[in-house]
Amino acid sequence: MKYGGMCVLQRAAATLGIAGALLFLPLQASAGANDTTPVVVAQGPVQSSQGLSAMETVPQAIPTANSTDRETSGQRLSIESTSLESLLLEKGVITQEDWIRLKAEEERRVFEQSSELQMSGNPRWYERIRMTGYIQYKYNMAATNRLFDNPLGDSFGDQQGNEFYIRRMRLVFQGQVSERVAFFMQFALEGGQQTPANNEMIDAMVDYYLTKDKVHRFRFGLQRVPNAFDTYRSSTNRQEMDRHESIQSGAPGERDLGVAYYWSPKVAQERFTQLAAYHNGPGDYGVFGVMVYNGQGRSRLELNKDKHIGAKLSYPFQFRNGRLLEAGVLGYHGVFSVQGASAPTGTGAAKCISPLTSESGCDIKDQRITAYVWTPPQPWGILAEFTVGRGPKRNAQTNFIEESNVVGGYVQGYYTWRYSDVGMLTPYVRYGEYYGGFKSINGAPDGQSRTWNIGLVWEPDTHFRVVAEWMSKDGLNSTLVANRAQNDFDASQMRFMTQWFWN
């Protein structure tokens, strides 16, 4: 949905000298038979909660509603026009299309408020909790080179070409249990065919809002860490199949145990919601955020007493023509304990440059700064990220795991064609490079790579998605052998995936 009409209306209102005028009346039930006031019901695709990330799919609580005032699921919502809008339309300041878009957008916002009231004000606990989830079903053709390696992405599909398999299944429980407390829990079955290879908790977090306007909040538990923009996006938001290695290498699994604080002024909250409605945005992770966390990655034990500290600063902009753009910078600092290393005097393929910790880890400094800019498909969009820092990487000449430079990034362009009220077709192209180590893989192998991803996404329904992608990669295989450099390869692979949601 475009938002340029809102800017048109604001400029026109300023011209007429009606500063601060209310543009919309409160939400009412559908007009009765004797009501002659023009009424419009929102048209166009309804954005399901799968378009938002993690806690951002949970309705934001507002003061408890009277149960007699809440809308029922069987009622239709409509918005009456105001005299100001009718006057602007009659004078030709705005078009009929602008008028309809304004009404549809306002109806969406008020509907979300109604859902918010219905959940947070419901005395029945089981009606304040929602269950959602999705399944990804894939088929990967065999790569053109047996050394082809995508260790931070879908490694099963790379190794088992020409097979149907379930990439992942997710089950989510979320709820607004009071006007200031919301929770989010996500369980996963991942990898393999009929027998998934990985069963784990993905998210387990709670938000506590310090203020009713949701400007200040604390988040506790297993949650996404401030590594990069793409780290915040879940598989429901991301249309391409994998995150780029330059980003994924900084936060394997995207999550960790810790506590975070987020600050989101009201104008930013509204724009984050608009960005998420474009099917690609992660939702509201604050204009400013800071987090303290273990630093070993999702579902991994802490192997040292050092804690990672991460922070982010970003802002969602909206230009006069309705174009939305988000830009920001993120960074973290800590000590990572690499697994799979031998003592300095050992003979393994990866040796620690210092004595191993009591948990058999090899402690190396781990720090990064990442900058990004993103504008969603309106109908075209661009996403670019660039990261620099220091981290662990195995030296092929000495076999020692050392602190080395990290540099990389990617740029992606895409275009969304909405061919019906709910149907969308999105081609995309991404190119990225990475020069650094894979700290989450035993021995911290060198992750040097240059990758192209060219894909086409078909979404005929808000609950169904089909992706076809050709991936071409020139990089190093992550398998380590003592006193030997990693094998280089240049290969490609065609991949297909269907994804469906229940929510």
> Does 262 lie in the same domain as 242?
yes
Q: Is the pLDDT of residue 120 over 60?
A: no
Per residue in 147-177, pLDDT (tens digit) is 999 999 887 777 777 888 888 899 999 998 8
Distance CA 137, CA 142 (A): 17
pLDDT bin (cut points 50, 70, 90) of residue 190 is confident
Per residue in 205-230, pLDDT (tens digit) is 999 999 989 999 999 999 999 999 99
Q: Is the pLDDT of residue 367 over 90?
A: yes
Highest mean pLDDT among 48-52, 71-75, 242-246, 358-362: 242-246
Q: Nearest Cα to 254, choosing from 278, 274, 230?
A: 230
pLDDT at 39: 34
Q: Is the pLDDT of residue 268 over 80?
A: yes
pLDDT bin (cut points 50, 70, 90) of residue 310 is very high
Q: Mean of the pLDDT values across residues 311-315?
A: 98
Task: Provide the residue count of the chain.
Answer: 503
> Does 56 lie in the same domain as 160?
no
pLDDT at 338: 96
Q: Mean of the pLDDT values across residues 343-356?
A: 91
Q: Nearest Cα to 105, choosing from 193, 163, 208, 27?
A: 27
Q: What is the CATH number of the domain that holds 428?
A: 2.40.160.10
Per residue in 26-57, pLDDT (tens digit) is 333 333 333 433 333 333 333 333 334 334 44
Q: Could you say which of 99, 120, 141 is where a domain stops?
A: 120
**63 close to 179: Cβ distance less than 8 angstroms:** yes
pLDDT at 114: 53
pTM, entire model: 0.77
pLDDT at 196: 64
Question: Cα separations (Å) of 65 from 11, 62, 179?
Answer: 35, 8, 10
Distance CA 194, CA 166 (A): 7
pLDDT at 347: 85
pLDDT at 166: 87
Q: Mean of the pLDDT values across residues 467-488?
A: 95
> Does 216 lie in the same domain as 87?
no
Q: Is the pLDDT of residue 73 over 70?
A: no
Q: Is the pLDDT of residue 69 over 70?
A: no
- Look up the domain containing 277 and give its range: 126-502
> Does 230 lie in the same domain as 111?
no
Q: Could you say which of 120, 145, 166 is where a domain stops?
A: 120
What is the per-residue DSSP string for 159-199?
A: HS-SEEEEEEEEEEEEEE-SSSEEEEEEEEEESSSSS-SEE
% of the chain surpassing 90 pLDDT: 57
Distance CA 178, CA 64 (A): 9
pLDDT at 127: 77
Indicate the burial class of 124 (C-beta count within 10 angstroms; 0-12, 13-18, 19 or more).
exposed
> Does 151 lie in the same domain as 176?
yes
Q: Mean of the pLDDT values across residues 345-356?
A: 91
Distance CA 273, CA 275 (A): 5
> Does 87 lie in the same domain as 143?
no
> Does 170 lie in the same domain as 55?
no
> Is pLDDT larger for residue 84 or for residue 397?
397
pLDDT at 26: 35
pLDDT bin (cut points 50, 70, 90) of residue 377 is very high
> Does 160 lie in the same domain as 23?
no
Report the chain's mean pLDDT, rounded to a whole number.
81
pLDDT at 115: 52
pLDDT at 16: 37
> Does 404 lie in the same domain as 314?
yes
> Does 156 lie in the same domain as 254?
yes
Q: β-strand 400-415 against 449-461: which pairing, if any?
A: unpaired
pLDDT bin (cut points 50, 70, 90) of residue 97 is low
> Does 190 lie in the same domain as 90?
no
pLDDT at 240: 87
Distance CA 72, CA 111 (A): 11
**227 close to 310: Cβ distance less than 8 angstroms:** yes
**What backbone phi and psi angles, to 5 degrees, belong to 258?**
180, -170
Residue type, 56: E
- 389's torsion region: left (phi>0), alpha (psi -120 to 50) or beta? left
What is the total count of domains within the chain?
2
Distance CA 222, CA 247 (A): 19
pLDDT at 325: 96
pLDDT bin (cut points 50, 70, 90) of residue 64 is very low
pLDDT bin (cut points 50, 70, 90) of residue 95 is confident
Helix/strand number for the chain, H first, E second: 7, 21
Q: Could you say which of 120, 153, 170 is where a domain stops?
A: 120
Give Cα 56 to chain centroid, integer Å: 10
> Does 239 lie in the same domain as 98?
no
pLDDT bin (cut points 50, 70, 90) of residue 9 is very low
pLDDT at 85: 64
The DSSP H or E segment spanning 324 is strand 324-338
Per residue in 423-462, pLDDT (tens digit) is 999 999 999 999 999 999 999 999 999 999 999 999 999 8
Q: Is the pLDDT of residue 99 over 80?
A: no
